[in-house]
Each structure stands twice: as C-alpha cells, then as structure tokens.
Structure 1
Amino acid sequence: MNATNPTLATAATTQSPLLSVRGVETFYGKIQALRGVDMDVFDGEIVTLIGANGAGKSTLMMTICGSPQARNGSITYRGEEITRLPTHDIMKRQIAQSPEGRRIFGRMTVMENLQMGTTLIGPKHFAEDLERMFTLFPRLKERAEQRAGTLSGGEQQMLAIARALMSRPKLLLLDEPSLGLAPLIVKQIFEAIRELNRTEGLTVFLVEQNAFHALRLAHRGYVMVNGSITMSGTGRELLAREEIRSAYLEGGRH
C-alpha cells in the first residue's frame, strides 16, 4: 500500500480543509474527554487517528457527528460551522458514519439494511449504488436476502460500511472497522477503503486501534493520548517513528 500521496500532500498546503477541528473540548459530565483537539482532513485524503483504547478517538468522531457536542472549540465542514448542529442535520451534508460496533439492523435482511442507507437521499440511485456495493463486497450479494444478524462479524462490518456508502457521502467516518475481525477480513476491508479512495476520490476519516494497517493505508495520521493530539505526519513518517512502533505496532502486523 502507498503510505503517502505527494499530490495530496501538496494540495493540502494550498486548499482549505474539507473538515477542520479547532480547539475542541468535549466532556462527559465533569469528565473531560477531549482537550483542545486540532485536526484537518482535506478533500480526497484518507486520514487516520490512532491511539490506545480509551484515548478519546471515538469521542472525537462522535463529537464531529454532534453527539456529544463540543463544549468549546469549533468544527467546520466545507467552511460551514457545524459544531452546534444536531446529528441529523450534520448527516444531511454528505457525511456518513460507520460506527464502532457496526450497529446494523439485525432483524432486517442485507438488502433492507442497504435500503435504509438511502434514507437521506432517496431511492433514485439505489440500483446503481447497489451494484457498486456488491462489486466492492461480493459476499453481501451472496447474502442479500439473509438476516443481517446471522452474518459473520466480517460480513456485518462490510454491511455497515456499504450501508453508509449508500448515502453517497463526500466524507466517510469509519470507527474501528477492524475491531474483533480476523486478519484476512481486516485486509479485505482496508483494501476496499483504499479502492474507494483511489477510484472515487472518497475522503475518509478513520479511527483505528490497528495502527499498522491504518498508517499504511492513510495519507496522513494523528496520534491521540488522553484526549490530546500528541503527534501528526504522513502515514509513512509515523510508521517510521520509533515511539510509534514501540507503543502501537508491536504484535500488530497482520
């Protein structure tokens, strides 16, 4: 996999971010989960956020989606302030999320789950997009009439990503897509993400504990420790840093 894209790196220095996070602080009651987070995602990039369990990675993704809302700081998307918008209004702006834990509709079939993904945009492109998803994830075509709750963990993750993509997002937010999956399935899912970025220019913000796969996939990455961004750079740069290798990569190469 290419760890960095020089064209994107050059573009990132001249264009405004698609998504910009500035000084964001998020609390759960009196407990502060995010501490002045600054982060950018540019159009056409894959950006990953890595860190240990409990570092605040998922909280940042949920804050971008409006639940919980940031107490302080600013989040802008396409130059528009979205910090105080409710989640459903944020999702209407061509943002889609595949959350941690998949959260598919277990009693619905695979097909019905994919239909749910078009709720915000309507059925106009359903047949076309369905074929795209079946090409990307052939296993879902084989399971189209099967109840989603009976799928394997890997198949459920594929379905969660495909359902998000059915809304034709400009920005895809992926929260721990490799969690609990076998190495071969993880590889397939990361290859699918890379293909979407390469062929369709899909912008991806990826929160991931599997630092090795995430940094090899990403154009750029951020490291979060205790709710703060402590390091950033291209995927290749971060992979080469000894402190990253010792903290996050030991035993993580699958």
Structure 2
Amino acid sequence: MMSHGFKSSKQDFTFGPWKVTAAKNHIMKSKDIERLGEEMNMPSLPEMLFGDNVLRIQHTDGYGIEFNAIDALKRVNNMEDAVKVACAQEWQESRADSEHSKEVVRPYDWTYTTDYRGTLLGEASHIKVSETAERIDLEKLKVREQIMFFNEVLLFEDELHDHGVSMIGVKIRVMPTSFFLLQRFFLRVDGVLIRINDTRLYHEAGKNYMLREFSMRESKIPELKNVPPALYTDPNEIAQYLTLKLTECEKLELPVMQPQTDVKVTCIQ
C-alpha cells in the first residue's frame, strides 16, 4: 500500500572518480523491525526506521564510505538507559503495556543516541584512518560555489512517545572542486535535554584524503534559559547554543592504486 503518495527513489551522481548514491525507500515493515530488534537485543526500535535508505560515496576502485540506518543503530548503547527523565517511568509503562506487558522491559537507551560516523567500504586496508590536527575549513565552505548535486536522506526518527524527538539524517553537496557531507543525530527530550552528534566529511579534488570531524553537543534544558524555546525544535538554530562536549578529527587516507599492467615472467634456465 502506498502511503502519502511516497515513491522510492534512487539518485546517482558521478563526478571524477567518485559516485554518490542517495537511495530513499519506505519505512521498514514492522515484522522486519521486530526481527532486527531481536538481533540487536533492543526491546524497541525507532518508529520510523528507513532500513533501506543509504547515502554512499564510492570511488571507481571500490573503496568509499556510506551512511545507513542499521549501522547507525548498532552504535546505540543498548545496555543502559542513558537519560533518566521525569517521564521515563510513565514512558516505559506505556511501552510495556502495548508491546510486551508480561515481559520485563530490558533497560536500553530509548533515546537511540548514536556516535555513528559512517561505514567504510572496500577492504579494511583500503582507507587508513588516523587522528589529525587538520580541520575542515568551514570558511571555505561558505564561499558561494556552484552546487552540482545536493541530496538529503533520513535514516530514522522517533517521537519518544510525544516526549520529544530522536532522529538522524545525512545530507551531501557536491561542488566543482569538493564535496561536503553532514550527518546529524538530533535528540530533544522535552523539559530535560537537547543533544546533537554531528559527523562532517570533506574532500577536496586532487587530495589523497578526506577529513572527518565528529562532535557531540549537549545542554540540559534549564541551562538554555536565555534561548527562545522556539529554537529548541530547530537543530540548525539550537546547535550553536549547546555545550560542546567532544570533537574528534580524523584523516581518511585514500589508497594509491597501482595501475594494472600485464607482467610477463621469463624463466631463466
């Protein structure tokens, strides 16, 4: 059954040796979500889980990086209930009633907080990841350049039983000389806290590496008393007001592929 006239879509965009694929599909069916929840040992998964959505950047040599919902969920800490909130008890009870009233609800991070930074493609040895002091030049990104390709893909979203929102999505823009990607996890637990985990990825044509920056920002709602509450629902606006808890910068070095040549072996007697 088609809902809201939604059509699955897949867009490919090729530039130089790279291909970007943005695939958007229907929400995962509940029986598949249940099976996945069991595999992941999580009593509940996000209401809107786009298991087949993906944003992939792949080199003609096979290596690259992609962002998908299942791998993002695998980075959720399912052993602890990370946010103790005023409404948690009532929330747990509402879930317990509807889904497994007789079972003990296992503790898990019901906010679905993830520190996912993408899934590397190709053999493990292909892309070398190391810490770096180099930063993505955000000023350079503000210079108006022609955008040759833009796309945005939602991976999952949950309204936390009307107590806020937990969502993660990824967007990319490709310019003539570079590409820039932002994956953002946004969590708002009403009356309690707002958290944003960002992964930024940047590559400049001609360079043999990508830069990846991961940051975690979080503030409790009482700490935001000077910020208009209207901004709480807008990740782009609220991000600048949240306390920066962590930044990690990495260099993703791309392999130098040797050209394939026919090698003749001559045996000397």
State the TM-score, normalized to the length of structure 1.
0.23
Structure 1 or 2: larger strand share? 2
Tell me: higher relative CO, structure 1 or 2? Use CA pairs within 8 A at least 6 residues apart.
Answer: 1
